[in-house]
Amino acid sequence: MMAEGRFREDLYYRLNEVTVRVPPLRERLGDTVVLASFFLRRFASEYGRPVRGFASAALTAIKDYPWPGNVRELENRVKRAVVMADAALLSPSDLGLSAHGEEPQSLGIRAARARAEREVLQLALAQAGSNLSKAAKLLGISRPTLYDLMQQHQIGLDA
């Protein structure tokens, strides 16, 4: 606009004292799951939907997707999934994402419990911003129990 003479150059330099560069979502690796969890809670509450989390394959798909549309794309995909989903946990297909390396899930009760436990641990860590004390409080368990569960499910703080 300055080059076209539609914006005063002196005014631009007065207003532009500090420039803040916000990197695209694909460069902020840990933010995708945290933002997706925030959007899920917001839209589930706003639309009165019973969706309560992401399946582990969906969390993996969210982490692996490059997000060319940045945060707005993530927000729109989560919103659409919350509104349209039938299950309590969103899957990669609900989000319109492919689940790379997704293998058929075992129907055994132990395997199902382990998957559910892992998903809840990942979601709590995402919602707590990887703060272990907050995650333990969200889960209603002690920090040592959280450490044990994280080790058992091979979950690091970047999960």
pLDDT in tens, 4-48: 999 999 998 888 888 888 888 888 877 899 999 999 999 999 999
| DSSP element (H, E) containing 90 | strand 89-90
CA distance 96 to 105: 20
Delimit the CATH 1.10.10 region(s) of the chain.
109-152
pLDDT score at 46: 94
Kindly give the parts of the chain with pLDDT less than 70: 99-107, 156-159
pLDDT score at 128: 79
Delimit the CATH 1.10.8.60 region(s) of the chain.
1-103
CATH of domain 1-103: 1.10.8.60
SS3 content of the chain, % helix, strand, coil (to 5): 55, 5, 40
| DSSP element (H, E) containing 75 | helix 70-84
pLDDT score at 111: 80
State the CATH architecture for 109-152. Orthogonal Bundle (1.10)
